[in-house]
Structures are given as C-alpha cells and as structure tokens.
Amino acid sequence: MSEKTDRPLHKQDTVRSPDEKSMESIDISPGTVIGEYRIVSKIGKGGMGIVYKAYQESLERYVAVKVLKTNLSQMSNYLQQFQYEARSAAQLRHPNIVQIYGIGEHHDIHYFIMELVPGKTLKEIIQEKHQSPVKSGRLIPVYDALEMILQVAGGLHFAHESGFLHRDIKPANIIKDDKTQRMMIADFGLSRPVMTKKESLLGSMTGTPPFMAPEIFLGKPWTKSTDIYALGATLFNMLTARPLHESNNLKSLIHKIVNEKPPPAHGFNRDVPEEISAVIRKCTEKKPSDRYGTVDDFIKDIRLFLNEGRTHAFEFYSLKEPALKTSSEKEEENIYDPSKEKIKRRKITSLIIGASFMVAFIISSLLYQDYRNIAHGRAYCRKKLQDAKNLSRMGRTDMALSFLQDICNKFPDTPYAEDARRMMAELKAPKKEKETEGTNEPAVDSQ
C-alpha cells in the first residue's frame, strides 16, 4: 500500500451506505501495538477502513495495516466480506498486485496486513502532472500511459484468470513503486458490496462512481466486464486528467454514466491517437457484451498499437461508422469536442483573412489600373496638345486640328478637351479671315 494519503478525486466520488456516513473512524495513535504490529503513522482512508503504516517486530519490516471501521466490524455482512475478501486476495501473487500477508483481530479491532509499497498512487501522479506550471507537461505522455496501463492490465488479467474480481479499479488504487517503477494494484477485491433485499442500491454500495460501469447502477452483478470498464475509465483519466463523465451532483452523474456516451479522449488531448480513443470506447460501452471479452483482449489491442500503430477497436468502429476512415471521428454528433471546435474556428478565421486579402488585392489592382489610365491619359493629352501647337506653327493646320479633335473625342469632359476646343477655334478663325481677304482683292483690281 502506498504511503501517500488517498484523497478523493471529487467531492461526489464515493458512494457509501447511510449507516457508514455516521460511523466514526478508528483513530489509532502512533506507537499503539495491534497484535504484533506497532502503528507508525496514518497512510490513508478508504470506504471500509483506515490504512496505517506499521512495523512488524517479528520480521523486522514495515507493512500496511488496514483497520476495519468500528461500526462495520459489528455488522456481520461487512465483517464477513472483510474476512472473506482478505483471505481470498492473499492467494494472489503477481508483480503488479500488492501482496496481502494476512488478517487479524485485536480487542474487537479487525484488520488485515499487506505489503507497504513506497511510492505514489496513480491519482497523485495525475494530479501533480496537471498542476505543472508548464502547459505541455500537465498530462502523462501517451506512450508512458500505455506502458503503465499495460502493467495494471497484466495484474488484473492474472486475477481474473485466478477467479477474482477487483470491483474498484481506479487511479487511487494503483501505486507506482519508487524502487521498481512497477504499477501495482492495491485493495484487490475489498470493495465488493454486500447487498440484501432490504438495502437500496445506493445505500449499500461502496465504490467510485466515475469508474463504475452502468450496469452496477442498474442492480446488475459485478463481472469481469465491470473491471474492464473501470480499466478504460482509468486510461481516459490518465490521458486527460479528467473523469469519463462529470457532473455537480451524484444523481446527474449516474444518469450520464447509464445513458450518455462519453467524449473521445483525443477531444481533450490532441496527442491521443484516435486508435487509442477507440480502445477506451470499446472498454466503456454501455452493454457489457460490447466491451472487450477479456482483459487479455485489451492488452493485445494496446500492444498491436505499440507495434503496428493500429487497433482492432478502431478498425471495428471504422467499419461500423465509415466516416472514421476519412476524417477525425466524433463519438457522438451532439458531444462537444473542444479540439474540433478550435480547429473549426481556426479554419473559419483563415478563410475570412484569406478572403479579406483577396478583396484588398482586387481593389488595389483596380485602383492602380485606374491611376495608370489617368496618368496615361494626361500624358497623351499633353503630348497631343504640344504636337498640335508645333504643327500649327509649321503651317500644318489640318493635322493639328486632327490631333485636337482626337483629344476631344477620347477625353471629352476633361480640361484638356477644353484646351483643344479653344485651340481649334483659334486655328479656324484666321483661316476664314484670310479666305475673305483673298476674295475681295480681285474685285478692287477689276474696277
């Protein structure tokens, strides 16, 4: 058991019986001796008891001692569960399972002894990562998370093959050993609820709702599939630092777990491949029959991704939903997908900016063309006027008038046209006077 304190992930993350809420926990002071174990310090608190770090004098080693709450030890159903599960779980020997050494009773205090694992819980690792000042380091890297979940799945698969269920797989019950770097499952099988006909579903249930399968809230029995659901929910939590479903109250949370599909992991963490999102989806399907048949199937799919970059889960959903092959899938059309919404906004912004640049370019081109036309017209008119003046001086009046008429035709409403018309009038006036003088002179001579 980890030496770190086990704090709830959410205020509503633990469901306990009404009687348990009023029970006072046993508070054992350091130095107190229970059987052959001397209490050193409190480690954490769970739904059924409190965990202490203790020293075993006979074997000169530190262990974890889980003490059943006083009032629970007086309830036969809880006490039987406590003793039965502790004896059963003690038979499990696996590198990824916290070893249970034994059970005992001391002056009406019931307890069991287990391996003390030096390290942090997966829950603490996720929380510490999420509080990192560096934004890029706030989540467990995808491939690290996959390697870690494979170890957890290995221990869970071994337990299933040995005939045991865990019933409360979650980050708080997974410890990373500081010495060996192994991921180890704690509290194996100790959260199984004992239900009677008189007890209501929620009133008798011990567990962590964000990691509990929908069928449990419908009164169905615990199975291997419920552990597989919790395994997928745990992987989702590792990759996103958030639970599979979120709500402000327990009733709403249960409704979501039972009725709503969770969002894909890659919607909250763009580093998560869609193939892995499909694996989580496969684990957390509403119907147990739609999930992986065994934990080993889950392990094989994760290894297939690590080796070949693909998963059977993604291929299955691709056939079922062809759109997955050609675009980033949305697990549900009405599910808010923040990363896709961000990409959509970026595309729209890019289109608007691009269109703005295009319009600006067209307008500037037209204005520039108009400017060139005006400048060219001015130069043309000035040259024609000057040429007309030169031609008039040379006595080539007809050609000068032609140049001036050309200005009037092409640029009729400009100052240059007015100048041209004035020059044309001046050129034509002297010609008429000369013609008049020429016709009058012979008449005088003849007389």
Count the residues in the chain: 447
Mean pLDDT of 339-368: 78
CATH 1.10.510.10 fits 18-336, yes or no: yes
Question: Can you give the pLDDT at residue 71?
Answer: 61
**Angle, to 10 degrees, between the axis of helix 312-320 and the axis of helix 274-283?**
90
- Alpha-carbon span 97 to 77, nearest angstrom: 26
Distance of CA 443 to the CA centre of its chain: 112
Domain ranges (residues) in the chain:
18-336, 344-431
Return the minimum-mean-pLDDT range out of 62-66, 306-310, 372-376.
Answer: 372-376
Residues assigned a catalytic role: 168
pLDDT band at 141 (very low <50, low <70, confident <90, very high): very high
Sign of CA dihedral 86, 107, 63, 16: positive
Q: What does the DSSP 8-state code read for residue 207? A: B
- Alpha-carbon span 174 to 227, nearest angstrom: 14
Helices (H), 290-337: 295-308, 312-320, 323-326
Question: Can you give the pLDDT at residue 11?
Answer: 35
Mean pLDDT of 9-33: 55
Which tokens go with 82? 């406590």
DSSP string, 107-151: TTEEEEEEE-B-EEEHHHHHHHHHT-SSGGGSS--HHHHHHHHHH
* H-run or E-run covering 65: strand 61-68
- Alpha-carbon span 56 to 410, nearest angstrom: 112
Q: Answer whether 0.75 is exceeded by the pTM.
A: no
pLDDT band at 395 (very low <50, low <70, confident <90, very high): confident
φ, ψ dihedrals at 27, nearest 5°: -110, 100
pLDDT band at 431 (very low <50, low <70, confident <90, very high): low
CB–CB of 245/258 below 8 Å? Answer: no
CB–CB of 178/201 below 8 Å? Answer: no
Mean pLDDT of 343-358: 82
pLDDT band at 12 (very low <50, low <70, confident <90, very high): very low
CB–CB of 184/98 below 8 Å? Answer: yes
pLDDT for 254-273, tens place per residue?
999 999 999 999 999 999 99
Give per-residue burial for 255-281: e unless 16+ CB within 10 Å, then b. ebbeeeebbbbbbbbeebbbbbbbbbb
Mean pLDDT of the chain: 80
